[in-house]
Amino acid sequence: MINMILNGLEISVEKGTTLLETANFYGIEIPTLCHDEGLSSYGACRLCLVEVGPPGRSWLVSSCTYPAREGLVVRTHTRRIARARRMLIELYLATCPSSKTIQDLACQFQVTAVRFRQRHDDCILCGLCVRMCDEQMQAKAIGLVDRGADRRVATPFDKKSEQCRLCGGCQYICPACQARCQGPQEENPICNACLNLAPPCLEEYEDAMCYMDPCVACELKGNN
Partner 1 sequence: MRNLQAGLKSPADLELMRKRLKEARGRRENYLAVCGDTGCTVWGSNTIKDSLQDCLKRKGFLEKVDIKFTGCLGLCESGPVIIVFPQEIFYQKVKEADIEEIIDKTVLKGEVVERLLYEDPTSGQKYIYASDIPFYKNQVRVLLGNNWINDPNSIEDYIAIDGYKALGRALTEMSPAEVVEEIKISHLRGRGGAGFPTGRKWEECYKASSDHKYIICNADEGDPGAFMDRSLLEGNPHAVLEGLIIGGYAVGASEGIIYIRAEYPTAVDKLSLAINNAEKLGLLGENIMGSGFNFYVSISIGAGAFVCGETSALVSSIEGKVGEPRQKPPHLVERGLWNKPTVVNNVETLANVPYIILNGAGEFCRTGTKESRGTKIFSLVGKVNNTGLVEVPLGITLREIIFEIGGGIKDGGKFKAVQTGGPSGGCLPEMFLDSPVDFEELKAAGSMMGSGGMIVMDEETCMIDVARYFLRFLKDESCGKCFSCREGISRMLEIADSIARGTGSLEELELLKELGSAVKDSSMCGLGQSSANPVLSTIRYFEDEYKDHILENKCPAGVCRELISFDIDSVFCNTCGACIKNCPASAVCEDKEGQPVIIQEACSKCGTCLETCKHGAVLKR
Sites of contact with partner 1 (CB under 8 A): 42-46, 49, 59-62, 65-67, 69, 80, 83-85, 87-88, 91-92, 94-95, 115-117, 124-127, 144, 146-151
d(CA 89, CA 109): 8
**Burial class, 18, CB count within 10 angstroms (exposed 0-12 / middle 13-18 / buried 19+):** buried
* Residue 48 interacting partner from ligand FES, partner 1, none (CB closer than 5 to 8 Å by kind): ligand FES
* Residue 144 interacting partner from partner 1, ligand FES, none (CB closer than 5 to 8 Å by kind): partner 1
d(CA 58, CA 81): 11
Q: For partner 1, which is the closer residue by CB, 67 or 97?
A: 67
CB of 224 to ligand FES, least distance (A): 38
Q: For ligand FES, which is the closer residue by CB, 31 or 200?
A: 31
- In contact, 177 and 197? CB cutoff 8 Å: no
* Residue 18 interacting partner from ligand FES, partner 1, none (CB closer than 5 to 8 Å by kind): none
Of 158, 109, 137, 128, nearest to 41 by C-alpha is 128
CB of 53 to ligand FES, least distance (A): 18
Q: For ligand FES, which is the closer residue by CB, 35 or 131?
A: 35
Note the residues at the interface with ligand FES (CB under 6 A): 32-35, 43-48, 62, 64
CB of 139 to ligand FES, least distance (A): 23
- DSSP SS3 for 50: strand
100-108 and 79-95 helices, crossing angle to 10°: 150
**DSSP assignments along 114-153, one per residue:** --SPP---S-----HHHHIIIIIS-----EEES-GGG-EE
d(CA 36, CA 153): 18
CB of 198 to partner 1, least distance (A): 32
CB of 105 to ligand FES, least distance (A): 12
